[in-house]
Amino acid sequence: MGEPWSAVDALFERHLLPTDPVLEAALANSAAAGLPPHAVSPTQGKLLNLLARMCGARRILEIGTLGGYSTIWLARALPEGGELLSLEISAEHAAVARQNLARAGLPNAEVRVGDAHESLRALVAEGVAPFDLVFVDADKKSGPAYLDHALALSRRGTVIVVDNVVRGGAVLDEESADANVRGVRALLARMGSEPRLSATAIQTVGSKGYDGFTLAVVE
């Protein structure tokens, strides 16, 4: 028998996640458009949805949209009048995501094209209202910079989630030349020493292999 993780994820999905043609279409549409298969897994998407509901999020910021799969899970958690903004550097990815969001009937989710560093700087400069939940899932080398921006766009109680902080254990390599691994390691160090944050991390195994999230709340 191979790794049982994917089969266990399938079991969880069968029991806990009803068949969802909208989400399945979003993945199929993304694959057909040639996007990489980097969306969060269904159980991880549901976790994002539950976290957003548990903290009563009305304003959600996502960094890294891809085809909008995680975006749909998050936007579905919003109450009437809630808003989601997702930042994506690739116009092609954003176009696919907008299609998927339109099909999902989520007009309150906006995709903004541009380098997230620039978009975040602009949001801070505009003085937008703080976000209630921030999901960081773009280039991993920029983790510390995204954390700084997320903090600038937060209030006390804001939840900050970062994806892909394990990468099959690659994060253990202190000498890694991989900018993404270095970014995750720097992010973990920053999160632990940042007095405005209370943070933990969870390792995940499942249909996306061995990876993990950091979870934090702004003090």
Residues that bind ligand DHB (CB under 6 A): 38, 137, 163-164
Contacted by 187, from ligand DHB, ligand SAH, Mg ion, none: CB < 5 to 8 Å by type = none
Closer residue to Mg ion in complex, CB, 58/208: 208
Place of tokens 């400069």: 125
Closer residue to ligand DHB in complex, CB, 108/178: 178
Among 57, 60, 61, 69, binds ligand SAH (CB under 6 A): 69
From start to end of 21-168, where are the E strands? 59-63, 83-88, 109-113, 133-136, 159-163
Closest approach of ligand DHB to the CB of residue 208, in Å = 7
Q: Which of residues 136-195 bind ligand SAH (CB under 6 A)?
A: 137-139
SS3 108: coil
Closer residue to ligand DHB in complex, CB, 30/82: 30
- Nearest CA-CA partner of 154 in 136, 178, 177, 167: 136
Bridge partners (DSSP) of residue 62 are: 86, 135
Closest approach of ligand DHB to the CB of residue 88, in Å = 12
Contacted by 116, from ligand DHB, Mg ion, ligand SAH, none: CB < 5 to 8 Å by type = ligand SAH
Pairing verdict, β 159-163 and 211-218: antiparallel
Among 44, 158, 164, 204, binds Mg ion (CB under 5 A): 164
19, with CB counted inside 10 A (0-12, 13-18, 19+), is: exposed
- Nearest CA-CA partner of 141 in 86, 184, 189: 184
Closest approach of Mg ion to the CB of residue 73, in Å = 13
Closer residue to ligand DHB in complex, CB, 38/141: 38
Closest approach of ligand SAH to the CB of residue 160, in Å = 14
Among 35, 66, 163, 165, binds Mg ion (CB under 5 A): 163
Closer residue to Mg ion in complex, CB, 132/137: 137
Contacts 24+ apart (CB under 8 A), 189-195: 190/143, 190/144, 190/147, 191/147, 191/216, 194/147, 194/151, 195/219
Note the Cα 61 to chain centre separation in Å.
Answer: 9
| Residues lying near Mg ion in the complex (CB under 5 A) | 137, 163-164
